[in-house]
Every structure is written in C-alpha cells, then in structure tokens.
C-alpha cells in the first residue's frame, strides 16, 4: 500500500536493465520472473510458492524451464496468482509490439471451469513495467479534463460578450478574411492621412475601455430603473437616493391672485362705464307652486241696513 509520500501504483514506471540482462532478455520463458522483481509482485502469491519449490527441489526444476509448464502448475492450485493474459502481437516477420499483458487474479476451483477474479492488470513494454489504471480512474481524469476545459471556454465566451441597450447581449465576431479583402479593394479617394503607431495604439486601447464603461453604466441605469422605476418626483423637491427619497419643504406659499379693480378712465371723451340693465337687476319671479286644489273665490257683501217689514 502506497504511503503519503509515494505516488499511486498506476503512476509508477519500474525497470531493471541489469536483471533483464542476467536472465537473457525478456521473452516468453522469462517475462514472469522479470515481473517478480518489480514492486507490483506479491510475495505471498502462488507464483512465489511454485518458484521456491522448484528452485530447491530438483524433481520440480523442469517447471522453471518453460512458461507453459509454470502456468500449468499454477492452474492446478487455488489462490492468488500472476499469469500472462496476452502475448505481444506480431506486426511482421520477426517483429512484434513487445507488449506483455499480465493479470493479477484469484483462482477458485469450480466445476466444470475455475472461477477467475481479476484484481489488476499490468503490462510490460520492453524493460518497463506499468500498472494499468482502473476504469474509475480513467473516467475521473476525463471528467476533470472536460471540466477544466469548459471553465476556460466560459471565461473566453464571457470576455467576448457585449451588451448595449438597443441590441442587448451579443458576442464579438472574429474578423473574416473577406472583410479584409473588401477593405483593400475599396477606393482610396477618401483615404485619410497615415497615422503614427502611437495614435493607433492609443485609439485602439481607448475604444474597448470606453465601450466597457458605457455598457456598465447602461446596465447600472437599467438596474436602477427596474428596481426603483415606480418612484416619481413630485412638485416638491426630493432629497436622498433611490429607495430613500424624502420630500423637503420649499418654505414658499402659493400667492393668491390680485383682485384689485381696474383703473377708472376719467377722460370725458372716453367710453363711460356701462350701466347694468335694469331688467337684469330685477329678480326672477319665483315660480308658483302647484297645488292640488284651486282657491275659492268669495263675493264681497255690501254694507247696508237690515230689511224691515212693511
């Protein structure tokens, strides 16, 4: 198990040129013994047990001569073992890839076939021995790479984004080659005088800064309008800032209009004041209220003596 200071096993590259030279190079009969010297090998595996038995027992020495005999002995046992899963592929006459695939697996004797559980995969390329990363490690690395690339993409797209009140959000388009050709083919009648390099750099540097400031001011104004757009100014002066407006007293009172009479014209030749019509002065007669019954007319009696009898 790797400690804190040691790298993970799938990031280790191990090689031992002197050992490869001692065993006569890496080939089919020596690849497992060369792998047994690497830090990936487990000393408690069946490979170590069979090797020690054959090394000290002359009757089992033939097992170490060929890889087929060595692996045949391992297949008769149960437990942890290292076995060649794939040999180098031939790319031509006497030529091959030189890549050996070794599996770390546990064998359990079952009928009709043994149960195999693969724990790790190693490959030998020339004199170098590597541990193949797991599928989880590969997916994790790919996800980190994609996330980092997307982060850079979003930052680049945000720098190319512009905003204006009339158009809204838009992105700067890269200058195309056709536009450059069209500018070259334009008439040179109205061509301005050549500018110095300093003026070009100053104008080019001011434009992006000014456009960025205008965009920020427009966004800030639009935000204030959306937040405090319902607050309007009255006739009285208003103090404070948006969201904290206060009406201040002006200290002035509305003056009544002057009701003085116009000046009289005392000149004899001038027009005299018009007298109001008498008809207008008369009040209107009050209308008679209709009643349901008409008044009874009575005859006046003459004053006289009482009649006497003759």
Within 10 angstroms of residue 233's Cβ, the number of other Cβ atoms is: 9
- Which of 256 and 59 is assigned the larger pLDDT? 59
Question: Is the pLDDT confidence value at 209 over 80?
Answer: no
pLDDT tens, residue by residue, 114-173? 899 999 999 999 899 999 988 888 899 899 999 998 888 888 777 887 777 777 777 777
Are 41 and 12 in contact by the 8 Å Cβ rule? The answer is no
Measured between alpha carbons, how far is 45 from 103 in angstroms, rounded to an integer?
13
Instruction: Supply the pLDDT for residue 217.
Output: 83
Higher pLDDT, 175 or 88: 88
- Is 102 exposed, middle or buried, given 0-12, 13-18 or 19+ CB atoms closer than 10 A? buried
What pLDDT does residue 310 have?
Answer: 41
Give the other-Cβ count within 10 Å of 20's Cβ: 16
Tokens, residue 82: 């290292």
E strand or H helix that includes residue 185: helix 177-185
Strand partners, 97: none
Mean pLDDT over the full length of the chain: 75
* Global model pTM greater than 0.75: no
With beta carbons less than 8 A apart as the criterion, state whether 117 and 124 touch. Answer: no
Position 192 pLDDT exceeds 90: no
Residue corresponding to tokens 């405090």: 228
CB neighbourhood size of 83 (10 A): 19
The pLDDT assigned to 103 comes to 94
| pLDDT computed for residue 177 by the predictor | 57
Average pLDDT rounded to a whole number, residues 98-127: 91
Q: What is the Cα–Cα distance from 248 to 103, expressed in whole angstroms?
A: 88
Secondary element (H or E) of residue 226: helix 197-228
For residue range 60-94, what is the model confidence (pLDDT) as tens digits?
888 989 999 999 999 999 999 999 999 888 766 76
Query: What does the H/E/C string look like for 251-281?
Result: CCCCCCCCCCCCCCCCCCCCCCCCCCCHHHH
- The pLDDT assigned to 294 comes to 54
Structural contact between residues 102 and 85, judged by C-beta atoms closer than 8 angstroms:
yes
């Amino acid at each position: 198990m790797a400690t804190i200071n040691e790298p993970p096993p799938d990031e280790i590259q191990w090689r031992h040129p002197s050992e490869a030279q001692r065993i006569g190079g890496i080939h089919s009969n020596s690849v497992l013994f060369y792998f047994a010297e690497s830090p990936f090998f487990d000393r408690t595996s069946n490979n170590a047990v069979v090797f020690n038995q054959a090394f000290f027992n002359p009757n089992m020495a033939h097992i170490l001569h060929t890889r087929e005999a060595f692996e045949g002995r391992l297949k008769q046992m149960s437990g942890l073992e290292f076995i060649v899963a794939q040999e180098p592929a031939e790319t031509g006459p006497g030529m091959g890839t030189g890549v050996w695939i070794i599996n770390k697996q546990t064998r359990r004797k079952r009928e009709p076939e043994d149960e195999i559980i693969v724990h790790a995969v190693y490959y030998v390329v020339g004199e170098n021995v590597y541990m193949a990363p797991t599928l989880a490690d590969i997916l994790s690395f790919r996800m980190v790479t994609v996330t980092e690339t997307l982060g850079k993409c979003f930052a680049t797209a945000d720098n190319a984004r512009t905003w204006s009140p009339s158009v809204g959000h838009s992105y700067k388009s890269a200058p195309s080659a056709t536009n450059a050709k069209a500018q070259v083919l334009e008439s040179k009648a109205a061509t301005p005088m050549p500018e110095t390099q300093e003026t070009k750099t100053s104008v080019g540097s001011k434009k992006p800064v000014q456009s960025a400031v205008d965009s920020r001011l427009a966004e800030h104004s639009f935000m204030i309008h959306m937040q405090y757009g319902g607050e309007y100014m009255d006739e009285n002066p208003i103090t404070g800032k948006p969201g904290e407006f206060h009406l201040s007293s002006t200290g002035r009172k509305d003056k009544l209009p002057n009701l003085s009479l116009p000046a009289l014209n005392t000149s004899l030749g001038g027009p005299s004041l018009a007298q109001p019509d008498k008809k207008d002065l008369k009040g209107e007669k009050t209308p008679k209220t209709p009643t349901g019954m008409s008044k009874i007319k009575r005859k006046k009696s003459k004053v006289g003596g009482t009649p006497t009898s003759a």
